[in-house]
Structure 1
Amino acid sequence: MKQQTVRHVLTDIIGEWGLWQLNIVVFAISLHIFMAINSLSVAFYAPTIKYWCADNNNNTIIGDVVNNQFHLICDRQGLASLSQSLYMFGRALGGVIFGCLSDRFGRIPILGLTLLLEIMAGLSSALAINILQFTIARTVLGFVANGRYLCTIMLVTECLDSKYRVHLGIVLSFGLSMGYCLLPGIAYLLPNFRHMILATIIPEFVWLLWLLWIPESPRWLIANRQWNRLERLVRQAVQMNSVSINDWQNQIKLLISQQNNENKRSYIWDVLKSPNLRRTTLIMFFTWFVNAFVYYGISLNIGDFGGNLFINFLVAGLIEFPSILLALVALKYIGRRPLVAGLMYASGLSCLAVIPFISTTTTTTTTTVWPRITIALIGKFFIGCSFNIIYPYTAEVYPTVVRQVGVATCSVAARVGSMIAPFVKELNVYTGMSVVLTIFGSLSIADGVSVHFLPETRGQQIADTIDEAEQLNSYR
């Protein structure tokens, strides 16, 4: 008889799905709204503006945006992009540090801490008196926000049965998409960047209170032998899910006995020692970098394609929903490798297809603006779909013993791409949008080629050990 695992026992005791799990998932999805707003709001509070530098004291900028409040023109024009880049740097750092802290102290304490610090950092950025304070506050905001974001994902992952986890990252993207769509409306109603930040930060107090009704991860409690807390959690969960608790004490004892037989901890350098896994890791690094760079490069600079910034942004946000649905359906019927490669090719070709509508005209007309906006949004649709798919794909190529650290390391590569993306605005000013789109298109196509050297994991048994993963990653 097959030995019961922690997953099976938790499923047998708590149940695969019920109100207990629903509360956690809705909390996570709704909380993701703020991540999208924090990451993309720079498009509205520091938009591309026209100015002249004949007089360093000129006051031709209008509006209550960061550029005006802190005089970010001429030799200071790159400081707004720098603040966004440092925000992304904070995200990269926060994911690693708070990931370790949540492993040590639990998911819920770190969620509470990061939520509180996120609110404080947001308030500081809204009340900033100069660009230095604003940049520091934004960096801290990125640091704690991504720690909260990844900790939320870990909590949901550890509270759901495995059959729901396959599409977990994609489903949680609905929260990001909702934030994407809400942002232009908030920015339109509150053009003052300080008011806009306050309107999106203060509501987080609701989620801070909601956290009081969110349980600790049962897997974390098991891993840290918090048996009394686990017993209380189980009683609460089975009551919410209306599940029988017959003989659950014996199953808890089974969990205790299994703790002495857990796999030895492995690290990312163990992956780099294995040739096939090393190749896969390097390709995944490049894939995550390109996805983040192109996705944020288009998203943060959507206004530069012409037309109305608010309408462009809203449509770009709405496009996120069909891209999520496509990812969910495609994962079920199409192999990961051809799917990601095809999406990268499509995104790259879409970016290149915009160039004729830019390079052949020097005036902004309806006949040239809408084709380039439409094609650019099609490219964003494909890169967004790819971004959603590489999360579960990456988790499948790594073995259980390093899966979390593998995905987290790839996420750092994505943060590097998102750190560079804000400076696309300056690159556009000095070289033109055609150069920017050529870079986007070339990188996407190059990544599509590299994806062909990844293993196909659809229908494959997921590896648990380094040796099993090495064999899986040798599959062509």
Structure 2
Amino acid sequence: MKFDEVLRDIGEFGRYQKRIYALLCIPCVSVGSFCMMTIVVLFTPAHRCKLPNFKNDTYAIQNAYHESLVNVTIPLSSDPTKVYEECQMYRIEGGAEFGGTLGNHSLATCTEWVYDKSVFFETFTSKANLVCGDSLKTSHIMMMYYFGVFVGDLILGLLSDKFGRKKTMYIGLVLLLLLAIAVTWAPEFYSFAVLQFLIGAVAHGSFICLAVLSMEMVGPSKRIWTGMLVQAWFAVGVTYLALVAYLTRSWQYINISVFAPCVLYLTYWWIIPESPRWLLSKGEKLKAVVIIRKTARINKAKYPEEIEYGDVSVSADKPIQEGTIWHVFRSPVLLKRFLILSLNWGVVSMTYYGVTMNASNLSGNFFLNFFLMGLAEIPGVFGGMLILDRLGRRWSNGGSMILGGIACLATIFPVLFGNDNLHGLTTFLAFLGKMSASAAFAIVYMFTAELLPTVVRTASMGACSCSARIGAMLAPYIAKSGELIGGRFGSVEPLLIFGALSIIAGLLNFLLPETNKQKLPDTIEEGEVFGRRNISKGNGKEMIIKNPVENT
């Protein structure tokens, strides 16, 4: 019997699979927190130069003499959103506190700063003074993290295929715990950046194993739901991060609050089974049968009598020719589709992470904005699931990206032409942009898997995933550009970039064929004719090469 046939007999998503799936979703919450952690711990508080010879200098001015001294030693900012210049102060001859001459002064670059503590008591940015000339270092750290995601997806993906989903997932979660403990006491920029790179690699690499294992344990009719719902738990991790950040207000305590639950995952070695599908693909049929029997027993289903020891497989009904990613590059039709999909992956990833990173630039409460950006993912994922079959993959993905792009672009009106009373509208538009990006992110996984032929599906998905990581690496620099520009325009400039790119990528979706309820292509030849239009030479009439609707 084929493994999918066995699952139909013993339960595609029975009690045992639900139990395992629930356990697999819990680490997804932690991974979601880690993937957005740098946005919180690298938050840049309002700051100004530290006044010389004032041991108890704070950002808040508490007496008139102190305030008058600040006004003569630190120039007022030309940016209406800031009080003082953040990186320069006046150098007064003789020193103001010793009766120096105020008329003769020049601007000097700060070497020490004081920070506003109304949002966070301390972040790694304020601890390491990553401001002014070093402000781009925060973007470098974020880029290192998402570059780690890029590397981790490739390496842990290969290890998962070779050594198993369970082993790779477990090693990744153990390393995540150890690295998270280490980064909490990182002493300076370089060690912090390297540790964030490693955390990105093992966190998201483990998430890939979790997602694959959760889909391989269930039957075909439930695979879409389990695969997409995993991403909703990822969103729960973002909202959890917002909550602990609000309660603790210190980057080290935030790290501890996020890595502490990871201790529970040490027990997963004895709880989570290996993927029976992977075991069968590696010829470990007896081990797979043990798990299948246990699944049937807990699901209270009758074990198929046709299965003797190891008499089950995952092979296709007929052998399919081998293919590589180079077959895609040599085919003009497949290459065009691959490039459009790659652009979609890159832009949607850039928008997905970038809109959340831009939460610090939006007016209003930072924690509320960040919480809403995480919360937006949940209706985004569920909305994507609802429209996926009703509107089709092309309209669902393209429409989500265009809607999100319009929402991001629309923020320019309340920010530049409105007043502070409209910051709620700005937050709502950013929320809508993040929700749409979340829906598009969930949909593009399926659209890509269905559109590209079976023989190159895995390789193409991996290449498109690389595009997504490149988009994520660019996101912090675009978000930081708004901070560097400053003013009202700086708060919306990143959203304008994300919005414009989302609309362009969304429109390009309509150059792709629909895959909903179609027999999917297996070979390169089938992929090339899938959804294409030809002109009949006999009568000059247009003939569409249709794909029969699947009966399964």
Q: Where on the TM-score scale, by shorter chain, does this alignment land: which range?
A: over 0.9
8 Å CA contact 2:141–2:193 kept in 1: the answer is yes
Counterpart Cα distance in 2 of 1:213 and 1:357 = 52
Q: 1:451-470, aligned counterparts within 5 Å? A: 451-470=509-528
Partner residue of 2:165 out of 103, 107, 118: 107
Q: Which residue of 1 aligns with 2:440?
A: 386
Q: 1:4-43, aligned counterparts within 5 Å? A: 5-12=2-9, 14-43=10-39
8 Å CA contact 2:356–2:373 kept in 1: the answer is yes
8 Å CA contact 2:384–2:396 kept in 1: the answer is no
Higher helix share: 1
Amino acid at match of 1:266: G
Q: TM-score, normalised by structure 1?
A: 0.93
More moved, 269-278 vs 169-178: 269-278
Counterpart Cα distance in 2 of 1:368 and 1:249 = 66
Partner residue of 1:359 out of 399, 410, 416: 416
Q: Which residue of 2 aligns with 1:289?
A: 346
Q: Deviations over 1:274-323 (max 9, x none)?
A: 22221111000000111011111111121211100111122222222222
Deviation at 1:23, TM superposition (A): 2.2
Amino acid at match of 1:28: L
8 Å CA contact 2:13–2:222 kept in 1: the answer is no
Counterpart Cα distance in 2 of 1:438 and 1:235 = 55
Deviation at 1:248, TM superposition (A): 4.3
* Secondary structure at 2:267 match in 1: helix
Partner residue of 1:53 out of 79, 83, 87: 87
More moved, 201-210 vs 266-275: 266-275
Identity of matched residues, %: 28
Amino acid at match of 2:524: I
* Secondary structure at 1:64 match in 2: coil
1:83 aligns with 2:137: no
Amino acid at match of 1:50: A
Counterpart Cα distance in 2 of 1:40 and 1:189 = 17
Partner residue of 1:345 out of 402, 412, 424: 402
8 Å CA contact 1:263–1:401 kept in 2: the answer is yes
8 Å CA contact 1:169–1:392 kept in 2: the answer is no
Q: Which residue of 2 aligns with 1:397?
A: 451
Amino acid at match of 1:31: P
Deviation at 1:115, TM superposition (A): 0.7
Counterpart Cα distance in 1 of 2:228 and 2:465 = 15
* Secondary structure at 2:181 match in 1: helix
Deviation at 1:426, TM superposition (A): 2.4
Q: Which residue of 1 aligns with 2:292?
A: 234
Amino acid at match of 1:143: A
Amino acid at match of 1:23: R
Amino acid at match of 2:455: V
RCO (CA 8 Å, sep 6+): is it higher in 1 or 2? 1
Q: Which residue of 2 aligns with 1:271?
A: 328
Higher strand share: 2
8 Å CA contact 1:397–1:473 kept in 2: the answer is no
1:188 aligns with 2:246: yes
Larger Rg: 1 or 2?
Answer: 2
Amino acid at match of 1:32: C
Structure 2 residue ranges without an equivalent (≥5): 48-85, 89-108, 534-543, 545-552
Q: 1:422-441, aligned counterparts within 5 Å? A: 422-431=476-485, 432-441=490-499
1:474 aligns with 2:470: no
Structure 1 residue ranges without an equivalent (≥5): none
8 Å CA contact 2:453–2:524 kept in 1: the answer is yes
Q: TM-score, normalised by structure 2?
A: 0.81
Counterpart Cα distance in 1 of 2:166 and 2:501 = 39
* Secondary structure at 2:516 match in 1: coil
Q: Which residue of 2 aligns with 1:98?
A: 156
Q: Which residue of 2 aligns with 1:305?
A: 362
8 Å CA contact 2:455–2:524 kept in 1: the answer is yes
Aligned Cα root-mean-square deviation (Å): 2.1
